[in-house]
Amino acid sequence: MRKFKTLFTLCIALLVVSTTMAREIYPLNDSWQFFFRSENDSEHARLVSLPHSWNNNPMAGSDFRETTANYLNEIFIPLEWSSKRLFLRFGGAQSVANVFVNGLHVGEHKGGATAFTFEITNQVRVGTNNTIQVVVSNNYRSDVLPVSTDINLYGGLYRGVELIVTDREAISPCYLGTQGVLVYPTEVDETEVRGEVEVRLSLTPQSDITLRVEWLNSEGKTVFTRSQRVRGAQQHERVPFHFKYPQLWRAEDPHLYTVVVTIEGEGSRDQVKLRTGFRTLTIDKETGWLAINGEVQQLRGVVMHHDNSSGGTPTRADFDLDLDFVHDLGATAIRSAVMPHDPYLYDCCDEQGLLAWVDLPLHRAPFMGDTAYYSTTLFEQNGVQQLREIIAQNMHHPSIVMWGLFSRLQLRGEEMLAYLKRLNEEAHRLDPTRPTVACSDQDGEINFITDLIAWRQEVGWRRGSAEDLVVWRAQLREHWSHLHSAVSYGGEGFLGMSQLGVQRTKDREWVSERAQARFHEEYCRHLEADSLFWGIWIENLFEYGSARRPYGLNGEGLVSLNRNEKKDAYYLYRALWNQEQPTVHLVNRRYRMRRIDRQAFTVYSSAGDPVLLLHDDTVAMHRYAPCQYRSDTVTLGGNVQVRVSAGGLGDGTLIQIGSVLRPQQRLVPLQKADLQTID
């Protein structure tokens, strides 16, 4: 087997640490050999860097690979580490990973959404090279969630890997994939905060250490400190804390604290830092809305999946770009659909004051052949284990305000109902401070399990008309207003399609961007200002790869998969939600060649009543709904310049009326030299 090295001159090249700081962390993201299990050996292995997936074409369709592959690396462990402890931490492996060191199995992890850590102290040899092998599989399994979804599960080590080196007495990095530090606030208000810090320890029976917990505010000033003595092989300690007049975390002022946990004994020292914030979460009795620090607010949320045009290994720069879209749209919340995102996303939400809903991978895709729940011990255990990992790893993020337990399930028997109730109880046991939520498109008892419910509504899309929303909303208000309800909706719209409806071919269905916009227009008209709902959730902010669909793409996004194109519906929500930057947008401007001479125009504007010019003729526009304006039908012919302006902003295009362009004709974009544009 061909070998290569990640030389641990890391001690010199990467480590600039005080001699009193025992914990050392080394990234192991370079120089991995990769080959599929079907290739039998590493003779033709590829050299890859992490994060890596063997499925980084999000629109691969039938070529999307569900298989098993090997990752190999070789590291040199210096003699100086003979008294140390070593841990391998994986940010995420999709979906099942088995880890071997020098051919010895050190552990298995089931579930691609969370981090996991294995101790390898007893498997390594000091003073020589050591091999690491990770066997990763994204094959379908009925005992690993999710078992029903249309998102691509991009197989591989799709997040980074770290080697953690500690003294013999350490804060354990193995507890549920956390850093070994968990924060449990018990009392929070503007005058005082109280709680406990749980510290997971990995000690020897002879241990005699001092455990110190220090709280720092955002300026680095100490606001609380406490030390206590720990003896023996204690596995965890709880350290109470309290301090006066905390600066609470709010969306408009996202103040953060840092807890520094240190253990010190004879010849040992370890330290972990964790950033968090303090705020209260309640459900307002009068409105049913979420209240943060007693202040109610209706959430304007977007659903986010897990890939882009580069595939399923998004970088920090990718997350930064995605959040730029969230802010530009004016959304106040995101939902991590199906499973959690990389923790970096929630770090950003903490800093930027965005709220987050994080899902457990218990989901049903809209395919008749799918089974979303198996009443087996292994399936149920995996769901509980993933829930524990998701909450433990992310509960310190103040931006996360609810745990999503399931999405679009169909209730199948009492066993399933009992399991969902068990998940709800477990979530509250692990984290009493946050409500639970589910997304439902069903009637019945399944809607009474979680604290909050978001109705996935589709009337007016595949069936009925948008006017049916009025009836549904009235029934909900009359009979089920005691439920804490939000609404979630979306429909596909593919760029480049000029038809206003649906075009069906033999094996696929394409829906136009304009049909998508019409759907969102009607939902906004009926739902946007309704106080019945604690949140409005748009599915989805971005398109995402879906190999299970015949065209390899879920087109519900307001923005294209490659993030290059904002669809018409995007600008509708920007006009409604972004109060800082006004919007003027001409709808259907990509529809350049039009056969029918009778035309009408729609404009989204938050900059005032728009003025529509066809060539130099002004056409009257009427307000149809908040930020929506429509023109009368006019008769046109030939090439027509369409301009719209309001409040110093403008938009426009050049359209051609008629079935065929003559060879000498060329469509050119409208010049907007005298108009300020928004994109």
Element (H, E) at 676: none
Looking at the predicted structure, is the pLDDT value of residue 138 above 60?
yes
Question: What is the reported pLDDT for 131?
Answer: 98
The per-residue pLDDT for 662 is 45
Distance CA 114, CA 50 (A): 16
Q: What is the pLDDT of residue 509?
A: 61
Token look-up 């705020």 returns 279
Identity of the amino acid at 118? F
Nearest alpha carbon to residue 381 among 336, 426, 436, 434? 426
ω into 550 cis (within 30 of 0): no
> What pLDDT, on the 0 to 100 scale, is given for residue 10?
42
pLDDT tens for each residue of 638-653: 999 999 999 999 999 9
CB contact set of 212 (below 8 Å; sequence gap of 6+): 225, 226, 227, 261, 262, 263, 264
**What pLDDT is attached to residue 11?**
39
* Residue 626 reports pLDDT greater than 90: yes
- The tokens of 90 are what? 């994986």
Between CA 474 and CA 470 the distance in angstroms is 6
Residue 616 pLDDT > 90, yes or no?
no
Q: What is the sign of the dihedral through the CA atoms of 220, 223, 228 and 232?
A: negative
72: phi then psi, degrees, rounded to nearest 5: -125, 140
**Which domains occur in the chain, in start order?**
10-176 (2.60.120.260), 181-276 (2.60.40.10), 457-533+541-580 (3.20.20.80), 586-657 (2.60.40.10)
Closest Cα partner for 132 from 31, 64, 212? 31
Q: Is 299 helix (H, G, I), strand (E, B) or coil?
A: strand
- Average pLDDT on 352-380 reads 95
- For residue range 513-554, list pLDDT tens digits in order: 999 999 999 999 999 888 999 999 999 999 999 999 878 999
Kindly state the percentage of the chain with pLDDT values over 90: 83
User: Using CA atoms in the order 223, 227, 233, 236, what is the torsion angle rounded to 10 degrees?
Assistant: -30
For strands 170-171 and 192-202, give the pairing. Answer: antiparallel
Structure confidence by residue, pLDDT tens digits, 296-309: 999 999 999 999 99
Structure confidence by residue, pLDDT tens digits, 207-253: 999 999 999 999 999 999 999 999 998 889 999 999 999 999 999 99
Are 500 and 506 in contact by the 8 Å Cβ rule? The answer is no
What is the per-residue pLDDT across 308-362, written as a single tens digit (0 to 9) for each? 999 999 999 999 999 999 999 999 999 999 999 999 999 999 999 999 999 999 9
pLDDT averaged over the chain?
91
Strands 116-119 and 170-171: unpaired
Q: For residue 59, give both structure tokens.
A: 């629109």
Alpha-carbon gap, residue 485 to 455, rounded angstroms: 7
Q: Could you tell me how many residues make up the chain? A: 679
Tokens of 617: 């003729």
Q: pLDDT value at position 506?
A: 43
Task: Say if residue 158's pLDDT is above 80.
Answer: yes
C-beta separation of 518 from 568 below 8 A? no
Query: E strands along 266-298, which residues?
Result: 268-276, 281-283, 290-292, 295-297
Scan for tokens 């087996």, then name that residue.
376
Tokens of 422: 């068990």
Question: Which of these, 525, 465, 546, 577, lies nearest to 153 by C-alpha position?
Answer: 546
Which residue type occupies 112? G
Alpha-helix runs per DSSP H in 206-295:
none
Q: Are 548 and 530 in contact (CB under 8 A)?
A: no
- How much is the pLDDT for 500? 47
93 CA to centre of own chain: 16
Sheet holding 85-90, edge to edge: 24-27, 161-166, 85-90, 116-119
Report the b/e string of 275-301 with b at 16+ CB within 10 A: bbbbbbbeeeeebbbbbbbeeebbbbb
What separation in angstroms does the CA of 237 have from each of 146, 285, 433? 34, 37, 21
